Amino acid sequence: MTSFKNGIPAIELDDRERAALAELAGFPLYSALFGRRSRRFPAGGEIPDGVLAFKSRQPARPLTSLQRALVLATTAGQTGWHHAITRHPGYAPQLPNYSGSAIGRTFPSAAGFHTTQFFFTDDSGTYYLPTRDGAFTNRLNAQTFDSGDAVQDALNELLTRVVRIGDQRLFLPREQPYFEGHNTWIGNHPGSLLVIPVADLAQQTLLNIAFFAQNGYVVYDDINGREIPGLERFADTLAHWGDPQPLSFVEQYSLAEASAELMTSTYAGHLALGAIGLGGWSFDGLDRLSVLGASGDPRVPGLGFRYDEDDRWSIPNPTGREGLFESLTRPHFGSMRGAVEALVERKFGPGGPFHPATPGPWKDSTGVRAAAAPFDDRLVDLITVQAEYIDSAFGKFPGTVPSVWIQNYLQAQHLDTEFYDTHFIPGAYLPTHANERERWGS
């Protein structure tokens, strides 16, 4: 079997796997929805005491390369071109320009902001998987499953995006506060795949400040009870100058939108587990700061994110990993103006949703993308003044929520059906779980 430069084996389908993919493509939507359960007990697992005591007679074993790729493609994959926001009377005849990415993915994103990227870890190491920008040439869809070669090509293209950042499984001591108490026995278990979606909440907040500015609103610092200095020079062009948006609302709004994006990505992956026949679940019981690398414990480097501390903050503030995942913040872009300029480049630069040369779903994609309302210098200044104020007043951006955010994780693992046969009435798992090893050769 060949491997990519990142050490991930390329997918080379055998006849058994081609047959399994054909079955997977026919798995009913409602079976996935109503058959979804958190199935935590894996091959190699043990509950040593209590009413559900059980010790697996199987060894822990990793997912097959194909199973891992399918889970990653379902959780983090692309689905084609984002259709953009089609109309806003205030912009007519121009196209609204809210979206951050030209790409659609397997989960929804508010106005197409798409600020989430993915990390994952298993027995083979720890990895970064960026999929929010840069369109795939080969993508999974209902038709590709008619051809094993098409699935193989799509999964291998996804795997070429993977960046290895560690040769070991992400280490977390099996104790609180690194785990919630009820997850110490099973979270990040040997043999499992743990997928970690991470949102650039700073970028989400900048995109919302831009959104409100384009619709005639500015931000008011309700935390400190004052207006943001310097905004008065924009008053004559803002339709809702007298009705500012509270900073606490804008930042909580951004947090909620990003959390929905993170949660639905793991939900998509969770539905896939039942179809594939894997156990696992979507959960939030790992300490976010420890996962990112801001626990303060040198034994626990996490994902290696840089972070800052300040007497004004109750917890450290991770901002990203240099050269890999960098939030739109001062530590990574030198200033908040630099962060705003990076945001404009993502939206309007090559490959962005509003660059005329970016392909798209329309018959005249060049014309549609070129028709988007621009970000002129005045709008860039308006966004920057607000971002710089928040960064200065609170020592970070955003001011009241983290710069990067984890909401949920997805864990995938081989299910030990004997545990469920011992302790549960029939129906605790699906037929796909009963014949998983036979179907996939796992």
239 to 216, 218, 235, 249, 344: CA distances (angstroms): 5, 10, 8, 20, 23
The residues pairing with 410 across neighbouring beta strands, listed in sequence order, are 195, 282
Q: What is the pLDDT of residue 148?
A: 84
Q: What is the dihedral of CA 205, 207, 210, 215, to 10 degrees?
A: -100
Amino acid at 182: H
| Cβ count within 10 A of residue 15 | 8
For the chain, domains (ranges, CATH) are: 15-440 (3.40.109.10)
Q: What is the pLDDT of residue 85?
A: 86
Burial class (CB in 10 A: 0-12, 13-18, 19+), 229: exposed
Q: Cβ distance 254 to 248 under 8 Å? A: no
Model-wide pTM > 0.85: yes
Q: What is the pLDDT of residue 87?
A: 83
Average confidence (pLDDT) per 10 residues, the chain, 442 residues: 90 95 94 97 98 98 98 97 87 88 96 97 98 94 83 96 97 95 96 98 98 96 97 94 96 98 98 98 96 96 97 96 97 98 98 97 96 94 98 98 98 98 98 97 90
**C-alpha closest to that of 69 among 160, 191, 166, 1:** 160
Burial 41-61 (b: 16+ CB within 10 A, else e): bbbbbebeeeeeebebeeebb
Q: What is the pLDDT of residue 90?
A: 79
**C-alpha closest to that of 218 among 204, 200, 232:** 232
Question: Is 262 in a helix, a strand, or coil?
Answer: helix
Half-sphere exposure of 164 (CA within 13 A, CB side): 15
Q: Kindly state the DSSP code that residue 93 receives in the 8-state scheme.
A: T
- The span from the CA of 406 to the CA of 199, in Å, is 7
- The span from the CA of 121 to the CA of 191, in Å, is 10
How far does CA 244 lie from the centroid of its chain? 31
- The span from the CA of 319 to the CA of 293, in Å, is 10
Q: Cβ distance 203 to 133 under 8 Å? A: no
- The span from the CA of 273 to the CA of 411, in Å, is 9
Q: What is the pLDDT of residue 144?
A: 80
- The span from the CA of 63 to the CA of 47, in Å, is 22
